[in-house]
Structure 1
Amino acid sequence: MSAKILVTGATGNFGKLTIDFLLKKGVDAANISALVRDEAKASELAAKGISLKIGDYDNYDSLLAAFQGIDKLLLVSGTDLVNRSKQQLNAVRAAKEAGVKHIIYTSFERKNETETSPIVFLAQSHIDTDNAIKASGINYTIFRNNLYLDVLPMFLGEQVLESGIYFPAGEGQAAYVSRNDLAEAAANVLISDANESKEYSMNNIENYSFQDIAETLSKITNKEIAYISPASEEYAEVLKNAGVPGEYIGMFVGFAEAIKQGEFQTDSSDLEKLLGRKPASLNDFLKQVYSK
């Protein structure tokens, strides 16, 4: 009897990729369900034979109904940062009440779990969810995901090839990983028989600084790409003058400071083992995005 898998956030990038990997790896579409808020946005999934469950993190009863008969739940962290803790705790409670046997959660890599973390706005809900999952008594796999390589273009800005990198991350390094690799690793765990509770370090096998990024981009594009790390205040001011919304400025400044402080620099990685191959490198990713 094959395990019944449910993926939340299934119309988002991570959820969609994971479902595609499950199908590629031979899981029958009949054994995969997708939690969606809006059926109209999930027609692509329905066309693949995925069963759609309508549910909303803010509506406990909808989650409880959606999780009935599910063995493995991939809880993809939500994007509503303000309400995320409450929403995800709803999901964990519903999973327990519905009898889900295993929760897989996309958490994040960190060192500082206190209020002093520059990304406390993002961190707290992950920490709350990790703790709730561990306290639930359900078997779990918690992925401590590093920063996505896929967010780098956002940090670098659209004019990076013309005006270089302007980002206040100092000499801080991070073990950036590709979303694709993380989704494949999640699919591998979902199809494995592993049922012991575990946390995995989902980091790349190398750490990169923004200076490394500038040098790699220079090689790929045959252009001299400089890296300037301004003071956070100056950076925030420049973004403000460029009309960037305040919440984005706060987020960029927070991430830059966290990178600067070494929050995402790490020498431990379970990713290669879970993939059975080397993860995509910074060079692989930048080549894909920036080489003409």
Structure 2
Amino acid sequence: MILVTDIVNCLGNDVLVALDEKKSVIPVRVMADRQQGLPSLKYLNTEVSEVSLFDMPSLDKAFQDIDRLLICNSNFLQDYRSAYTNLIRCAQESKVGHIMFVSSVSHSGISSRMVCEDREIENLIKSSGIPYTILRVNMLMEYLPFFIGTSIEGRHIYYPGGNGRIGFVSSKDVAEVISELLIENKPENRVFTLTHEISYSFEDIADKLSRQMGYKIEYEPIDLSIYEEALLDMHLSIFVVKRLSSVAVAIVRNEFDQTGYTLQKLLNRENSLPKLKSGIKSWFFKKDSAPLEWTHSLTSLSDYLRLAYSV
């Protein structure tokens, strides 16, 4: 049985959708906190367990009959380190056979508080003795409202991101990989970096939105202090404000400017090997920008913006 720690964020829910579409017969237990509302699920072989990440008795109950653990909470607004310590301890006591942890990408200079916390959890998992798969995922496109808001009627994007670039990825693409790895269940103590082939600045986002909306949208890289004041005016705690501003600092320093092809290769793992030779030949003849041509096309930022911000 698979234990999924969170489906409130888009990624956890997309994993359930992907497992359901594959008609997976592996039973899934979803952890849910009553304070956030217990979800009503319509997926195959899925049950809800009322659990608090900070309550050991409820965690012990949730781990009954579990052999695979997926830790996928978004830590944008909350520090989960103590909760994850409880999780990993329960996983050890329950003799869980595989931990999959959704972490964050970043270059060696780490400014984001979230990334720093993720690295601590990675080390805790590695030292647990439990076979693991760690997925360092770049910023999800679905998190764009954190940066540009849910409304662009003002025709401006105000964010202290400077000229920093991000290799945004789609939650659905990442969820597809996670579902395949959970079904395959062959942990190799591996760390994968999942990012897009292309990185984008907020100027790029404004340009693509302008084309989609039919009018000019401007990006203004505001000062960090102005951003923090605006967040405080929204009655966010200073703790949350500092977390969000640390992400902005990391973006300015291009710590999320990572691109790669691992995500695309994992999405095509069944078909990539037979096509490898022809793919290389095609590349040399066509001189495409990508090192290999794969059949799968990652969700592009343009496609996401067209769907998410369509009039």
Q: TM-score, normalised by structure 1?
A: 0.87
Q: Extract unaligned runs of 5+ from structure 1.
A: none
Cα 1:133/1:287, change in 2 over 3 Å: same
Alpha-carbon distance, 1:100 to partner: 0.6
Identity of aligned residues (%): 29
2:117 aligned partner, one-letter code: S
Give the Cα–Cα distance (whole angstroms) in 2 for the partners of residues 39 and 25 of structure 1.
31
CA distance in 2, matches of 1:234, 1:38: 36
Alignment partner of 2:115 out of 120, 123, 130: 123
Runs (4+) of structure 1 exceeding 4 A deviation are 46-49, 78-83
Q: Which residue of 2 aligns with 1:74?
A: 70
Deviation at 1:78, TM superposition (A): 5.5
Structure 1 residues 227 and 134 mapped into 2: Cα distance closer, same or farther (>3 Å)? same
Q: For residue 38 of structure 1, what is the amino acid of its counterpart?
A: R
The corresponding residue for 1:184 is 176
Tell me: CA distance 1:266–1:281, structure 2 relative to 1, closer, same or farther (3 Å).
Answer: same
The secondary structure found in structure 1 opposite 2:96 is coil
Distance 1:83 1:213, change over 3 A: closer
Residues 239, 126 of structure 1: CA spacing in aligned structure 2 closer, same or farther, 3 A cutoff? closer
Q: 1:24, CA displacement in angstroms? A: 1.0
Among candidates 191, 194, 200, match of residue 208 of structure 1: 200
The C-alpha deviation readout for 1:196-235, integer Å capped at 9, x for no partner, is: 1111111111100011111111111111111111221233
Q: 1-side partners of 2:259 and 2:79: how far apart?
A: 32
- 1:14 offset after TM fit, Å? 2.3
Q: What is the alpha-carbon distance in structure 2 between the residues aligned to residue 246 and residue 39 of structure 1?
A: 19
Any conservation in 1 of the 2:76–2:244 contact (CA below 8 Å)? no
Alignment CA distance shift 1:98-1:46 (3 Å)? farther
1:53-72 equivalent positions in 2, closer than 5 A: 53-72=49-68
- Quick one: which of 275, 287, 290 aligns to 2:306? 287
Deviates more, 1:184-193 or 1:4-13: 4-13
Q: Is 1:219 the equivalent of 2:215?
A: no
Shift, 1:79, TM fit: 4.5
Q: Does 1:255 align with 2:247?
A: yes
Distance 1:47 1:152, change over 3 A: closer
Q: Where does structure 2 lack aligned partners over 5 or more consecutive residues? A: 269-295
Instruction: Tell me the C-alpha RMSD between the 2 structures.
Output: 2.4
1:56-107 Cα offsets, whole Å, 9 max, x none, are 2112232233223222111123649655111101101111110110001111
* 1:136-185 alpha-carbon deviations (Å, 9 max, x no partner): 11111111011111111231124534231111111110101122222222
Match of 1:142 in 2: 134
What's the TM-score, normalizing by structure 2?
0.82
- 1:66 aligned partner, one-letter code: A
Q: Matched residue of 2:127: which SS?
A: helix
Moved more, 154-163 or 43-52: 43-52
Q: Distance in 1 between matches of 2:103 and 2:67?
A: 20
Q: How many residues align?
A: 283
Change in 2 beyond 3 A, CA 1:167/1:15: same
2:15 alignment partner in structure 1? 18
CA contact (8 A) 2:17 2:43 kept: no
